[in-house]
Structures are given as structure tokens and as C-alpha cells.
Amino acid sequence: MSELTLHDLAKKMKGIDTASLSTHAAGGEIACRFMSNNGEVEYDGDNWFFTEEKTRTVGEIGRDPNVSLAFAGKHHFYATVEGQAELIRDKAQFEEHWAKDLAMWFKEGVDTPGLVLIKVHARRIKYWDGVKGEGELKLN
């Protein structure tokens, strides 16, 4: 079993633009959707995604904040993140995490009505690196 640090994982995850976010739907099903993190953030155990208030995603996280993320990177690197989601509606935090490419989805930028920022704080990261093997990292 490989033992990568959070710093090692951050280097491997840098540039991965899309994650599959899984939540618990109202009927108990697992609901998955692809979310962009813009691949520009330095990974520190927190994951940031913009969405809109009216989405099922926001309702599902409001009912149960336990979520999972799946990432597929270069050179046969894969990671799953189990974590706690938080819904943020603070414009100052929107500005802190905004990237210009987000304007493709949110035409009014951080002033888009109903904008919500999802923060997923990782508790456990499981990974498989085709070169170095597999492992797990537990975070607080």
C-alpha cells in the first residue's frame, strides 16, 4: 500500500477540472452529478464548487451534508473523497473562490441571483495511483 501525503495528493489532483459529486437524494438513492472546480485551486482537503440555490444538489446537501467526490486524473490516478459539505451564501467567499471561467455558467458573476458555493471538507481520501499503488489518507 502506498503512503501519499496531502501534499503529494495535491500535486496529483492539480489541474483535474471535474469531479463527480454524490449526495443522498430524498428517497435514499445516491445522486451523482459532474461539477467543475476549475482545476486551478491548490488542494488542501477542501473542495469548492459553485451552483444555484434552486438545484436538487443544494436541497440534498441541506438534508444530509455527507457527500463523496470522485476524481480521475492523468497517468491512471484516481481518488475518492468522503467529506462534509457546507452551503455558503457569502459574497466575500464567492469572490475569494471565483475564477473567470465560471462566467460561462453564471452570467452575472458573484452577483448571480441564487448563487451558492459548496465547500466539501475531506475526511478521508482513498486513491489509486497506477504507478505507486493504492492508499488512504484520513483528515480531520
The answer to whether the beta carbons of residues 10 and 79 sit under 8 Å apart is: no
For every one of its 140 residues, what pLDDT tens digit does the chain have, with 9 covering 90 and above?
Answer: 558 888 888 888 887 888 999 999 989 899 999 998 766 556 778 889 999 999 999 999 999 999 999 999 877 889 999 999 999 999 999 999 998 889 999 999 999 999 999 999 999 999 998 877 899 989 87
Residue type at 3? E
Question: Residue 69: beta bridge partners?
Answer: 21, 81
Class for the domain spanning 6-131: mainly beta
Please report, for the chain, the start and end positions of each structural domain, with discontinuous segments joined by +: 6-131
Q: Strands 133-138 and 46-52, how do they pair?
A: unpaired
Cα Rg of the chain, angstroms: 15
Q: Kindly report the number of other CB atoms within 10 A of residue 43's CB atom.
A: 21
